[in-house]
Structure 1
Amino acid sequence: MTNLVHDLEQCWYISPPWGKEILPLSINLLERVYLTTTKSFGYCCGVEWLQQEWSYAVALNDEVIYTSALQLRGTGKLQLGIDKPVFTLGQRVVFRCNQDASKLRIVQGIHLIDDFWTYTVEWASPSLTECDGKLMTSGDRRAWVTDTDLVKV
């Protein structure tokens, strides 16, 4: 039984939540964008797969606003002078952690925080419980890590 659980966890971590192919981004990382809700310009400093869609982080003055693509208009112009991230969305990586579970993961998000790129990977597989006859999974199982926590496969 232990081998089956390990195999399931390994498949879970390397199965993209968006399906077999990564869905295209509406806005590129570091692209200058117009945020329709605030009627102001900023730049895309992050993207992450949340609730069946890409969620974009937009640096706007001294704050970061998280929004869907519907509220953004891309300009096609990129923010200059910032190094590109080491890893890409959907890339398979080894997560250097102390857990006994499989360390192979998929990058599900990328964020620029204080001039450093961070990456979202799943920290743990879901805990399944039943509530009112429906199968429920545990809460947030994702971790934001740096490129030193990950190794290219």
Structure 2
Amino acid sequence: MSARLEPGDEAPAFTLPDADGKQVSLADHRGRKVIVYFYPAALTPGCTKQACDFTDNLELLATAGYDVIGVSPDSPEKLAKFRDQESLRVTLVGDPEKTVVAAYGAYGEKQMYGRTVTGVIRSTVVVDEEGRVARAMYNVRATGHVAKLIKDLDL
């Protein structure tokens, strides 16, 4: 189980390929707030709901100064299919080695269908303009999470 991040921690730097294979770095977003959310797998019902919720609220978030990056262990090809099939506008990046997922504390044991499994823990980390963790939420629900996040951020 990876250590969870706390507000004030330095957000772990990362560079990962997006749905088009282009490298995306957290450093590219310096000076803006970034919502980095971790989800188990593209093209699954819960992850689709969450990605669509972020897409539906992207304008509101962007206007408030937030960029959104979704991270999963998927390949760029699968991410492209997910983006195109669901008309997603959020930046999706793949972490097949799960190094970034682990660095953010979003990998470990979780309950799934009544049994304990090891995998990506649905999590959201808000990074401030200086690259520090403003808030870190773990074991979030796919449905309703974006609305709760918007409320928590006073947007």
Coarse TM-score class (shorter-chain normalised): under 0.3
Q: Radius of gyration: which is bigger?
A: 1
Larger RCO (alpha carbons 8 Å, 6+ apart) = 2
TM-score (norm 1): 0.25
Structure with the larger strand share = 1
TM-score (norm 2): 0.25
Structure with the larger helix share = 2
